[in-house]
Structure 1
Amino acid sequence: MNDFNTLELQTDPRGFATLWLSREHKNNAFNAEMIQELIVALGKVQSDDSLRFLLLRGRGKHFSAGADLAWMQQSAELDYNTNLDDARHLAELMYSLARLKIPTLAVVQGAAYGGALGLISACDMAIGTDNAQFCLSEVRIGLAPAVISPFVVQAIGERAARRFALTAERFSGQRARELGLLSECYPVAELEQHIAHWVDNLLLNSPQAMRACKDLLREVSHGAPTPAIRRYCENAIARIRVSPEGQEGLRAFLQKRNPRWQTSPSILEPRS
């Protein structure tokens, strides 16, 4: 059963989860409850060793319209310390998503405004429809994309982030792909078949190797190849070569057969 009011967390028997934003009547806009439930849901995903990767999606017409207006109105009436607590909860959500040990893929349709760009940017990969609409809209209402800014800058680069954060211009899925926010964009009618292709492709990969890759890329992404980074990388490949999945993958390659992690059933109904 689904334990959430604003989300749905579904687990597929093939070994991956889909986390749905599910406030369709509010265009999946954030409020305090959704933020807290997202933190809890990501904790469940993080603790489930059977999961190989996570899809992040939005129910209905839009991925997420950003912050809920009623919640924002309440925030405007709160003092500094209470607003700081709210900001810390949102930051915990973004950092929890970015630190997740398994690969994450955001799937975007319709609108993705404000904080929704933070969720997309905190994922390892994102795909969407070519007519999706993105906007860092905060300056239009006297705010700034503060908590999400490190993830947005990392996703699209500082120069582009300056432009779109300062102008609050809307941009399309096609432009999001050019900026690197989306890995690929597709016609609306073709989105589901392409999601299936991404799922099938990820299921080909060693779960342990994908986790090791995430750790590796997190370690090497912020600086020059120092002696310490060199030692880390040398140890990383040595560890994975002698691991059970590393050994199985090498044996399978040499024996011209599929590794064991590719033997999962192909099409099964998800469970909530």
Structure 2
Amino acid sequence: MSGNAFLVERTGDIERWTLNDPATRNALSDAMVVGLYEACLRAQKDTTLRIVVLTGAPGAFSAGGSLGSFANAIGQPLQPGESDPLIPMNRRFGDVLHAICALPQMLVCAVDGPAMGGGFGLVCCADHVIATRRSLFATPEVTLGLPPAQIAPFVWQRLGDATARQCLLQGRSYRAEEAKAINLVDELVEDNALDAALRDRLKEMLKAAPGAMACSKRLLQLLRDEVADLREEAAIAFAAALRGPEAASGLAAFSKKQPAPWAGSDKK
């Protein structure tokens, strides 16, 4: 176990990694991001581990990035000559996405509930995604005045250019059936049937020889490596946006459950 925010449970040659903060719908806190990254580094060296299941504590997969550590920076420009601590903080999540994609093990995301923003990005890194019908997938960042910077390459690689543009530029949300139709979800199961479906899927996956599967993943990773590494540029863009006026007004409106100022009005 890597702290209370991130749980690791080993059963034979399978590990279950749980994003564990139900009070925030498993928002990606600094502790959770560190736990994920450390688990990836350990797993990359573990030749006895064959499958990783990534899931969330009951109620959600993940509500996305936690703004708790960013709160004081929202709408606040940097002082002249000041280095921005938001850049390395945001880049760390980019490091997690790259590390989780580089796992030699099969990565299964088991989704039951919302997978938003950064949680959506984690789902895009999976080799297989199982979701319940009550799950919801969304990338709402642009509606809040923020770019979905670190997750953008992974959404693009998973869904292709046209669908990625719908997700990232419009801040769209997808019900589980819609997520399966765009190939974000591989397997759709009834509510409360996730654990049983997961057991069946893992049994099938264990038929793959460990060495052959790891080699195949490495070959696929070489294709992914052909895409530009945007971690630093994405972190800079996110930090600048968070300190800008759009994020300040967008996040304030969201907290008050009001439309953002650029969203227009329904009044005729």
Q: TM-score, normalised by structure 2?
A: 0.78
**Which residue in the other structure is 2:135 paired with?**
132
Q: Within 5 A, what are the aligned runs for 1:1-272?
A: 2-13=1-12, 15-76=13-74, 79=78, 81-220=84-223
1:81 shift after superposition: 2.4
Deviation at 1:222, TM superposition (A): 7.7
CA distance in 1, matches of 2:85, 2:14: 36
Query: Residues of 1 paired with 2:77 and 2:88: CA distance?
Result: 11
- SS of 1:188's partner is coil
Gaps of 5+ in 2: 227-268
CA shift at 1:195, angstroms? 0.4
Provide closer, same or farther for how the CA distance between residues 78 and 43 of structure 1 changes in structure 2, counting only shifts above 3 A: farther
CA contact (8 A) 2:51 2:105 kept: yes
Distance 1:178 1:99 in 2: 26
Please report how far the alpha carbon of residue 179 of structure 1 lies from its aligned counterpart in structure 2 after TM superposition.
0.8
Distance 2:93 2:225 in 1: 23
- Rounded to whole Å, the distance in 1 between the matches of 2:46 and 2:188 is 30
1:152 counterpart letter in structure 2? V
The one-letter amino acid of 1:24's match is P
1:75 CA displacement = 4.6
For structure 1, the 5+ residue unaligned runs are: 224-272
State the alpha-carbon separation in 1 of the partners of residues 112 and 73 from structure 2: 28
Task: Please give the per-residue CA displacement for 1:25-59, whole angstroms capped at 9, x wherever unaligned.
Answer: 21100111211111112122222211011110101
CA–CA separation in structure 1 for the residues paired with 2:125 and 2:208 = 22
Preserved CA contact (<8 Å) 1:18 1:56: yes
What amino acid maps onto 1:181 in structure 2?
L
Q: TM-score, normalised by structure 1?
A: 0.77
Which structure has the larger Rg?
1
Given that 1:131 and 1:174 are in contact with CA atoms closer than 8 Å, whether structure 2 keeps it comes out as no
Identity across the alignment (%): 26
Contact 2:159 2:184 in 1 (8 A): yes
Q: Secondary structure at the match of 1:126?
A: strand
- Inter-partner Cα distance in structure 2 for 1:205 and 1:84: 40
Question: Any conservation in 1 of the 2:7–2:20 contact (CA below 8 Å)?
Answer: yes
Query: Over aligned residues, Cα RMSD in angstroms?
Result: 1.7
Larger mean CA deviation between 34-43 and 110-119 belongs to: 34-43
- CA–CA distance in 2 between the matches of 1:219 and 1:8? 30
How many angstroms apart in 2 are the aligned matches of 1:93 and 1:222?
15
| Residues in 1 aligned to 2:92 and 2:22: alpha-carbon distance in whole angstroms | 22
Letter in 2 for 1:65: A
